[in-house]
């Protein structure tokens, strides 16, 4: 039995497996620039975040209808349940779809078709977190927040993702202020490829409650102290860090040092279809590479519920 856990850093578009990509391409009459799943899999060798994002955005072309988003989410939830996931806080990238002519309502209603049955069907409770693409303008992010207003009963929070370097959190100050005023929870990717200063800015300027990745905090001991003191959760994604070359090999991953420093670390899968594993695969990979004890594995699983947006009574039930 895998450890019961929550997954807090998961891009639903990053769960698009090659087989589903080709099935949806056929269903929608979309032509992919790859012969078959085997040739596509060969493209899954990345130099950095941007080289991954290029493929990630390219493959989204197959996602067109509500049913496509429902099928994508249902396939993820089934796999997640098999990996011990009891609760999933799921990112989606509306701008990447709106830019292709797929409306916000299609995306949210489609995802919801799967999410609304997830507890009974898979035993997985869910939340949706809408991400802004940080390499797009703040105006575009604000328009996206506006387009989300009819759907806010189904959206728990906002996040910030895509190409990090050169797009500091401060660019989205007003958008996050508006999101907070709407009662939305706030998270942001920071310190994945970007410097530790972006983590500080995400906390101080955007008011985030959780930092996605946060890996590069380890370059700044003062920042580590602060994250420990304020109990700021970090959503680490070890296999992602290796595939996108944030760390050279898993044996070099700072997770053990981060736990030893007292940081509130969680382990997540990020874009599991692309990075070679779902969340339990990430747990097992770091256990094997870093020699983590069962007590540390339990700490990671416990942290995942503590860091979630579940209310206290829900959290107890999910564990």
97 is in an annotated binding site: no
252-275 burial, b at 16+ Cβ within 10 Å, e below that, comes to ebbbeebbebebbbbbbbbbbbbb
Pick what 192 binds: Zn ion, ligand ES4, none; C-beta below 5 to 8 Å, kind-dependent: ligand ES4
Residue 161 Cβ vs Zn ion, minimum distance, rounded to whole Å: 5
Pick what 49 binds: ligand ES4, Zn ion, none; C-beta below 5 to 8 Å, kind-dependent: ligand ES4
> How far apart are the C-alpha atoms of 220 and 201, rounded to whole Å?
14
Residues of this chain that interact with Zn ion (CB under 5 A) are: 270
Q: What is the DSSP letter of 222?
A: H
Pick what 162 binds: ligand ES4, Zn ion, none; C-beta below 5 to 8 Å, kind-dependent: ligand ES4
Residue 162 Cβ vs ligand ES4, minimum distance, rounded to whole Å: 5
Pick what 14 binds: ligand ES4, Zn ion, none; C-beta below 5 to 8 Å, kind-dependent: ligand ES4
284 is in an annotated binding site: no
9 is in an annotated binding site: yes
Catalytic member of 7, 17, 136, 192: 192
Residue 66 Cβ vs ligand ES4, minimum distance, rounded to whole Å: 22
Residues of this chain that interact with ligand ES4 (CB under 6 A) are: 11, 14, 49, 56, 161-162, 189, 192, 240, 270-271
Break the chain down into helix, strand, coil percent, rounded to 5: 55, 15, 30
Q: Quick one: which of 204, 289, 292 has its CA closest to 253?
A: 289
The reply to whether 17 belongs to the active site is no
Closer to ligand ES4 by Cβ: residue 125 or 240: 240
11 is in an annotated binding site: yes
Closer to Zn ion by Cβ: residue 32 or 144: 144
Q: Quick one: which of 267, 175, 140, 249 has its CA closest to 212?
A: 267
Q: Quick one: which of 201, 267, 264 has its CA closest to 231?
A: 264
Closer to ligand ES4 by Cβ: residue 3 or 91: 91
Closer to ligand ES4 by Cβ: residue 66 or 212: 212
> How far apart are the C-alpha atoms of 230 and 168, rounded to whole Å?
22
Residue 162 Cβ vs Zn ion, minimum distance, rounded to whole Å: 9
List all residues 6 or more positions away from 249 whose beta carbon is below 8 Å from its beta carbon: 242, 289
List all residues 6 or more positions away from 164 whose beta carbon is below 8 Å from its beta carbon: 49, 134, 189, 190, 192, 193, 194, 198
Closer to Zn ion by Cβ: residue 11 or 86: 11
> How far apart are the C-alpha atoms of 130 and 46, rounded to whole Å?
25
71 is in an annotated binding site: no
Binding residue positions: 9, 11, 189, 270-271
Positions marked active-site:
192
């Amino acid at each position: 039995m895998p450890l019961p856990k929550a997954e807090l850093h998961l891009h639903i578009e990053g769960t698009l497996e090659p087989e589903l990509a080709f099935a949806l391409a056929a269903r929608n009459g979309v032509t992919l620039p790859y012969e078959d799943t085997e040739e596509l899999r060969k493209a899954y060798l990345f130099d950095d975040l941007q080289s991954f994002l290029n493929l990630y955005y390219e493959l989204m072309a197959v996602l067109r209808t509500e049913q496509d988003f429902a099928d994508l989410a249902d396939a993820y939830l089934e796999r997640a349940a098999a990996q011990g996931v009891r609760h999933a806080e799921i990112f989606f990238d509306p701008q990447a779809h709106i830019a292709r002519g797929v409306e916000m309502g299609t995306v949210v209603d489609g995802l919801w078709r799967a999410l609304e049955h997830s507890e009974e069907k898979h035993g997985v409770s869910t939340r949706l977190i809408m991400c802004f693409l940080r390499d797009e303008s703040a105006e575009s992010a604000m328009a996206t927040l506006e387009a989300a207003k009819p759907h806010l009963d189904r959206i728990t929070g906002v996040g910030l993702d895509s190409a990090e370097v050169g797009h500091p959190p401060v660019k989205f100050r007003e958008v996050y202020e508006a999101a907070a005023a709407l009662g939305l929870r706030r998270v942001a990717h920071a310190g994945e490829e970007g410097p530790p200063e972006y983590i500080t800015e995400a906390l101080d300027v955007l008011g985030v409650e959780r930092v996605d990745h946060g890996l590069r905090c380890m370059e700044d001991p003062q920042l580590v102290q602060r994250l420990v003191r304020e109990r700021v959760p970090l959503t680490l994604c070890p296999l992602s860090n290796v595939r996108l070359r944030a760390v050279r090999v898993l044996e070099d991953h700072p997770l053990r040092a981060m736990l030893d420093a007292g940081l509130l670390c969680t382990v997540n899968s990020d874009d599991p279809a692309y990075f070679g594993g779902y969340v339990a695969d990430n747990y097992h990979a770091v256990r094997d590479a870093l020699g983590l004890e069962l007590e540390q594995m339990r700490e990671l699983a416990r942290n995942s519920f503590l860091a979630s947006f579940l209310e206290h009574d829900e959290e107890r039930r999910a564990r």
